[in-house]
Structure 1
């Protein structure tokens, strides 16, 4: 049981010397935002409270800005020293906007990228945003080029290629400055790319370390007798032993999600994506370490612990969603926690120091691919899901349609980040309620070509009156939903919790919504020009609090509309699943900024 009043977030100021000092200093100032995650702990919590549950209903549009780009606008703007740094989807334009003059353009950076890069991006041309540290703004382009820009002038200070688009490698994720390094990931599992997490030296862009998701221990930066899973050493060749032959070389495990960092433990946390191919019959074994939560030493990249959530994934349940770090009481003891809402429909809470699994519960009642996760520490299957054979995708072989699987590959929650409030000790989670039919087929690997090996169709889960989304408050210690708000479509926006007891999120129809943090009661809504798949930002400028959000429908859920798809099977099953979206919104690319009248 949890003790009342305990639920302190992992404060940025803890052991300041162990983080990037500039980032830590600016995180302490809630008027600014230098990371997409708001803080290293990935809480997406703001200590600003000028806008609160009592007055949020008075919000008005203060100013707006057109990005000049269509497609899915994920992520959100940064705010540093009176300047807003804004990004777009491909071609990944960066704007510096003057907050003293309602977004006057100070400088613009427009990278040159080959148009062919767009053809290898799995699920829309999205980008999840910039990061700031040491007077530089960091951009990770779709073509995997990392660029450090002078924050005052936009001048390029250095750039480096993190991957090779000719092999199907691309990028959609943000980056995270940690100490003197920049942590970056890679996308491309649907093209057989071999996932890795890399650290570049912030000063000059040289590679400090790289850790792969699959392969030999030396490539994975795993110490067989020291790196643990659920308290036990993983042993020699833990990944190699879980793949047939050399399938690991094209085994996926991409790292296109979010990163978190604990300055006290000096550990970076992230998740790896699905194994390649989607056809499970072509890759016998657990396929380690795809679908895995990693805890790595920030200085060396060596893995402290790992935990594979979905061994031998049969459903494309990427494990890249955010890791939220909190310090809360478990059984009366203050405990460093990590909470992760996986696409597979289970919410996991672990001890982030040791990797011990504490809670694994369904946050969507329709989940049926597994009945539960075994949390009995004395059990030989501790930590593994208890599968329902009726909802696997390989029992009858290839070219067979497996029906009624929940959730769909799009997940009970996709990458859009949840938020945590230390005041309520609740997590606020955007969710999706979709099921699917899944048909695997044999596929041969060709570098730079799709390596998917399955077709699927998605449709609303039963019992939801056709609604495919929701927004929930979750108790991560007890493993239960506290309140839930149904939504017409999957919620594809990141959440933001504030000290004003307000939680913000956006909808695919284009509404910015504000709800009461304790009850979920809707307090405000505003229809923006296009569907919201971005993350809500709040900041303060000259004593006035603002809320900002990007509109621009897209992402996997909105790709049918964003890309004008006509094939029913296009968009990995999303085209028809979200066909009704076109009746509620249209393409766009706009930042909308809100404030209270006269700041009150």
Structure 2
């Protein structure tokens, strides 16, 4: 069977056309790489603003536009507008979709009212709204074709992530780990909106869509009730493991990949056990949802190190052998390389030297602790059964990297990673569950590692050696997604609002321009009329910018981010705009 026959044929064809940007992730492999090279390391210094577009919405603008043919699709945070812009006519608005949602969903959104963008397939735009409604729009007119309700905001379930279309299904996750949600991924028919299957992160095997003998972890069958055995009683019913990150798909293996988030509550003493399968990489069949393999990165998470960050698929040499690899930069500060066909763990190394909660992962396949990180006792947040204020834990809860996606260049065989360089004090407290109310149970303070003033780095990573090639210090966390191009340029944005271009080989800064607001969106590129353009959404917010976005001033608000990023207000203000660049 040909590769083209195993997925949405048209989408596979379109994503190979570098003149467009038809996937939220750039391509199914999540590489965020473009073959365009009209803008290159020699002329990128000449970039100019071609045009801009105000979204009319404040708060954090994550994600990126899509470009399909001559139309660009731009989205916003709540109320989740989608605008179709005519690229042949200076970005004239062709249509706007603005859903009517209950504003009561806003307080239930954990870390700002962000949305990571729409997906496209078969003449439709798919959007996951804050209130969990998955909507299909006619790409030409904006007309609503169907709606499906994916969750219940009154229980704390919300929608923030970008869907992915695979074959005849649109697949979407759910947010709500801070509200005790039992989280899942769900597939809907792209033509009718009918639910096809749902697979949970925690719970009994039938809900997990696990085969105890065929679903494996580190090469061994998971066995019956692999999740239930790691929770006390019915705790799994409010166990978290949310799925609000990015999806990836390998058409040849016919597997899609994603990560699950933190277990609920943040107080580890209240949920003894490994809390499987939170903090886990999943490989599933898109037709049935059945899991082929899983790997839990942070068993019994004590720090809110969600495992939802993107899975990048690349065929690279690992240990001298060409490998169908999956590369994942986890919140816990470890960069993982796995065999995406089998789930074999190949590399697990720190991608920020400041990471101190673990000494590393046991890589001995014959060891009873194979694949587990060794926890440094003083940085555990569960001390002798008591709730204590554990100090100077690195990274902070927002991780060495959060959802801001890395890029991979097959030309340089290098991964380009936006990172946070932030540590924390973490004090758990007892919390009880009430549906629709926060179920956190910890107080945090955030700050740079001792002796440092920078809160972010932009790094180049060797996924074979598990080593940093070069690193660029940034005053604040790099909360923007990266873009790598065949022009030997890598782009990223900063929380102060700069779009930056650096040399893909050396990291040398080649260009920067300050946009109207802080950048937490992802850089993308396309062509129109024979010219290459680079575009990015700016609009400060997200977890790092929640103080500005929501007007918070208490240092411990925003789960500790308000105090950590208090200085950001000196550099940028709220805004919502698209800035498009090209050569003169």
TM-score (norm 1): 0.97
Residue 359 of structure 2 aligns to a residue in which SS? Answer: strand
In structure 1, the partner of 2:293 is 305
2:488 counterpart residue number: 501
| Structure-1 separation of matches of 2:182 and 2:574 | 33
Name the CA distance, whole Å, in 2 between partners of 1:469 and 1:346: 16
Does 2:83 match 1:95? Answer: yes
Deviations 1:324-375 (A, max 9, x none): 0001122333210000000000000000000000000000111111100111
Contact kept, 8 Å, 2:539 with 2:577, in 1: the verdict is yes
Indicate whether 1:432 and 2:407 are aligned.
Answer: no
User: Contact 1:213 / 1:253 at 8 angstroms: preserved in 2?
Assistant: yes
| 1:308-319 equivalent positions in 2, closer than 5 A | 308-319=296-307
Q: Does 1:291 pair with 2:279?
A: yes
Q: Which residue pairs with 1:111 in the alignment?
A: 99
* Alignment of 1:231 onto 2:200: no
1:575 aligns with 2:562: yes
Which whole-Å deviations, capped at 9, do the CAs of 1:435-465 have from their partners, x for residues lacking one?
Answer: 111110111100000000111111111232x
Alignment-derived partner of residue 10 in structure 1:
none
Aligned to 1:594: 581
Q: Is the 8 A contact 2:74 2:84 kept in 1?
A: yes
2:65 pairs, out of 60, 77, 82, with: 77
Shift of 1:157: 0.4
**Is the Cα–Cα contact under 8 Å of residues 381 and 387 in structure 2 kept in the other structure?**
no
Unmatched tracts of structure 1, length 5 or more: 1-12
Native 8 Å contact 2:261 2:307 kept in 1: yes
2:555, 2:564 within 8 Å by CA — same for their partners in 1?
A: no
Q: Does 1:516 align with 2:512?
A: no
Q: Secondary structure at the match of 2:77?
A: coil
Contact 1:144/1:171 (8 A) holds in 2: yes
Q: C-alpha offsets along residues 219-260 of structure 1, whole Å, 9 cap, x if unaligned?
A: 000000110000000000000000000000000000000000
Instruction: Give the conservation status (yes or no) of the 8 Å contact 1:69–1:88.
Output: yes
C-alpha distance after superposition, 1:15-68 (max 9, x if no partner): 011111121010011101111110000000001110000100000000000000
| Corresponding residue of 1:121 | 109
Counterpart residue number, 1:346:
334
Does residue 470 in structure 1 map to residue 457 in structure 2?
A: yes
Task: Work out whether residues 93 and 111 of structure 1, in 8 Å CA contact, stay in contact via their aligned partners in 2.
Answer: yes
1:248 is aligned to 2:236: yes
Structure 1 residue runs of 4 or more that deviate by more than 6 Å after TM superposition:
none
Offset from partner CA, 1:248-287 (integer Å, 9 cap, x none):
0000000000000000010010000000000000000000
**For each residue in 1:480-519, what CA deviation from the matched residue of structure 2 results, as whole angstroms up to 9, or x when unmatched?**
0001110000000000000100000000000000000000
**Cα distance in structure 2, aligned partners of 1:449 and 1:399:** 22
Return the match for 1:142 from 114, 130, 154.
Answer: 130
**Partner of residue 336, structure 1:** 324
Matches within 5 A, 1:371-410: 371-410=359-398
| Residues 1:24 and 1:573: Cα distance change in structure 2 (over 3 Å) | same
Aligned to 2:265: 277
Q: Which residue of 2 aligns with 1:585?
A: 572
SS at match of 2:178: helix
Which runs of structure 2 are paired with 1:185-264 in the superposition (5 Å)? Answer: 185-264=173-252
TM-score (norm: length of structure 2): 0.99
1:184 aligns with 2:181: no
CA contact (8 A) 1:419 1:497 kept: yes
Q: CA deviation at 1:14?
A: 7.1
Q: How far apart are the structure 2 equivalents of 1:53 and 1:376?
A: 43
Q: Summarize deviations over 1:299-336 as a string: whole Å, max 9, x none.
A: 11000000000000000000000000001122333210
1:154 to 142, 148, 166: 142
Distance in 2 (alpha carbons) for counterparts of 1:78 and 1:14: 27
Residues 268 and 381, structure 2, Cα contact 8 Å, conserved in 1: yes
| Number of residue equivalences | 584
Q: Quote the Cα distance in structure 1 between the aligned partners of 2:375 and 2:17.
A: 46
Change in 2 beyond 3 A, CA 1:57/1:14: farther
What secondary structure, in the 3-state scheme, does the structure 2 residue paired with 1:236 have? coil
What's the CA shift for 1:398? 4.4
User: How far apart are the structure 1 equivalents of 2:7 and 2:54?
Assistant: 35
CA shift, 1:542, in A, is: 1.2
Would you say the 8 A contact 1:398–1:439 is kept in 2? Answer: no
Distance in 1 between residues matched to 2:386 and 2:483, nearest whole Å: 43
- 1:356 is matched with 344
Q: CA deviation at 1:578?
A: 0.3
Contact 1:141 1:171 survives alignment (8 Å): yes
Match of 1:9 in 2: none
Question: Does residue 532 of the first structure (1) align with residue 519 of the second (2)?
Answer: yes
Q: Within the alignment, does 1:562 sit opposite 2:531 as a pair?
A: no
Aligned equivalent of 2:472: 485
| Equivalent residue runs for 1:36-51 within 5 Å | 36-51=24-39
